[in-house]
Structures are given as C-alpha cells and as structure tokens.
Amino acid sequence: MTPFSFGSSSHLEWHGTTILAVRKDGRVVIAGDGQVSQGPLKIKSTAKKVRRLGDGSVIGGFAGSTADALTLFERLEHKLEQYPGQLARACVELAKDWRSDKYLRRLEAMMAVADKTSSFILTGTGDVLEPEDGIIGIGSGGPYALAAARACIDSDLDAEGVARKAMNVAAGLCVYTNTHFTIESI
C-alpha cells in the first residue's frame, strides 16, 4: 500500500465540504466553506463552492466533485434560461436529464439551490427535495450545519447570522470543513 492509498482504494478521493442554505424573514442565504481535501491532505482553503446562477436571481452551492458540480451548474443555468423565473421546473428538468443521460448519470455531486421563494436539494438519483423548514445542509459537514441552523433559527439572528453560526459549528466538528466561508444571499 502506498502512503496515499486508503483502505481498499488505490487512489486518493476528494472528500468533504459543507454547504448550508437558510431561509428566514424573507431572505435566503447559501454558505459554503472553502476547504478542498484529498484524503488526509488539505489542498486548498479558499475554494468558492457557492455562486449566483443565471441572471443572479438564483444562488447555489455544491458538494462533491468540482468538475461535476460545475458541469451541473452550467446545465442548470441552461434550464433557467429555458424556464425563466421557474426554479422548480428548471430543477426537475435538470434532475430528469441527470438521471437519464448516460454521461450525466456518472456525475458525483449534490447541489443546494434557492431563489427568493424556494430552496431545493438536487441529487444524481433524480431527487429534487424542498425542505419544509427552508434549511438545507449537504456535504460531509452538512448534518452538523443543518442541526446547528435548526437550533438557531428561532433566535434573534438574521438568516446570514444563523448560517455563519451554524457553519462555525460544522467547522468545529467536521475535519473536512474550514471557516473560510463564501456566502451569497437574496
């Protein structure tokens, strides 16, 4: 076994991220950490995994393979052009393509996307999920950030404050999450 082989795998796997979406008081925020890890190595600490999409009225964050996620963001932007102002429809159409297209099926990423009225999780299994409480957590630190955001949502913090606090909790628990956050809001 080489120093960079782990378990039965003969290659390093890119691992971990934390993406959190918080909807509160008419605002929606998506936050992402900046760490990129390869096995036990921290490769980069300032990656931007959150961005505005389309005409800027949609924000999204990704967990998983960067190249795959950027491909999916590009595809979602095309769907948003086809269905302007219809995030749900664009997400469903992307999920159908992702699930049925031989090339897209191999892409390994998850996305959290939101506009002023809706938030969704998109997965390669064809899922388009809208959380009941407007909070999404994906990636290796997603469950920690999700739990912390749910605990803080009824506080006096605004959406960005809840997201920052929850992301800091996730960074304190998940070794694949750091405190260099990118935050976009609508």
The order of strands in the sheet holding 128-129 is 50-53, 58-64, 109-114, 119-122, 128-129
> Is 17 labeled as catalytic in the residue annotation?
yes
Nearest to residue 66, comparing CAs of 74, 58, 77?
74
Beta carbons within 8 Å of 76's beta carbon, 6+ residues apart = 53, 58, 60, 90, 91, 94, 111, 113, 122
Pick the catalytic residue: 17, 18, 71, 177?
17
Positions marked active-site:
17
